[in-house]
Homo-oligomer: A and B are copies of this chain.
Amino acid sequence: MWLDASCTLKFDIVVPTPFVLMLRPRSGVHQWIAREEYRLTPTVPVFEFTDAYGNLCQRLVAPPGRFTIRTAAEVMVVDRMDQAPGAPFVEVQYLPDSVLSYLLPSRYCESDRFGQMATEITAGCLPGYDQVAAIVTWLRTSIGYRPGSSSVPMSAIDVNMGLTGVCRDLAHLGIALCRGLSIPARMVVGYLHGLEPMDLHAWFEAYVGGRWYTFDATQDELTGGYIAIGYGRDAADVAVYNQFGPAVYPTSQEIRVECVEDHDD
């Protein structure tokens, strides 16, 4: 499936404000970036670097006045994300080195507090994929998914107490529960075709059966149409924008994801 996705963020900047952005998707296992745009108005110097998770990040100082960031991409994505019921739990000693840090608790995924609860939710499940699937089913039935975005992320503990959250918050609780079972789990931020209402989206991946699998507690069914922009331990690592100094919020945010019907291949 070919998708055209775009994100336009507008800010009214008062004082010069340093930003670290994460808005450039990379080609990966599930996606191929065939075209990509990244426009800043006004044009300012940008420095790009790769963070510890492999994300391409952009550093700039937004000047006072209206500041617009527009990114767009044409991406080939898989029609359906892989699912693997029965894929086994990987014992910690056999995990790749690079995956170990996704077992640790993080700012918004206090997994050290969720071992007992995760064990109860997944009672009777085969260790591995089926445990994660049980966690996702539990999230769908027990936590109210409130579409839209909120400026302040909720941690797994917050979500579990409030029983409601946006996509990012549900992912936090899902991740914390997985790690509570010693299953590596990480956050993904990106686009989802067909999301209602359209917005940037967040979901999570869990490492079972020797690879990462995608999970999304906000959707009834796991389809395709996902474009990943950033990966990390939780929303602290994967912020579409991190801004420093006096808080600044977008005055508008416009997201589009459309299917490219007539792609000739």
Give A residues with C-beta under 8 Å from B: 18, 20, 26-29, 32-39, 41-43, 45-52, 54, 56-61, 76, 91-93, 97, 100-101, 103-107, 110, 112, 152, 182, 236-237, 242, 244-245, 265
Contact = CB atoms under 8 A, between A and B. Distances in A.
A18 to B, nearest CB: 4
Query: How many chain copies?
Result: 4
A244 B103 contact: yes
A172 to B, nearest CB: 12
A242 B104 contact: yes
A53 to B, nearest CB: 9
Given A27-B48, A32-B46, A48-B26, A100 B20 contact: yes
Nearest to A51: B101
Contact of A101 (B39, B48, B52, B93): B52
A49 B97 contact: yes
Contacts of A245: 92, 182
Contacts of A105: 107, 236
Contacts of A110: 107
A54 B50 contact: yes
A92 B54 contact: no
A27 B46 contact: yes
Given A58-B27, A101-B52, A237-B104, A38 B33 contact: yes
B76 A265 contact: no
Q: Which 7 A-B pairs have the closest CB atoms?
A: A27-B48, A18-B92, A49-B97, A92-B244, A18-B93, A35-B37, A105-B107
A42 B265 contact: yes
Nearest to A38: B34
A26 to B, nearest CB: 6
Contact of A236 (B34, B42, B93, B104): B104
Nearest to A237: B104
A237 to B, nearest CB: 7
Contact of A106 (B29, B59, B236): B236
Contacts of A27: 46-48, 58
User: Which of A35, A39, A104 counts the most B-chain CB atoms under 10 A from its CB?
Assistant: A104
Contacts of A100: 20, 51, 57, 59
A182 B91 contact: no
Contacts of A52: 52, 101
Contacts of A37: 34-36
Contact of A59 (B93, B152, B265): B93
A152 B110 CA distance: 12
Contacts of A46: 27, 32
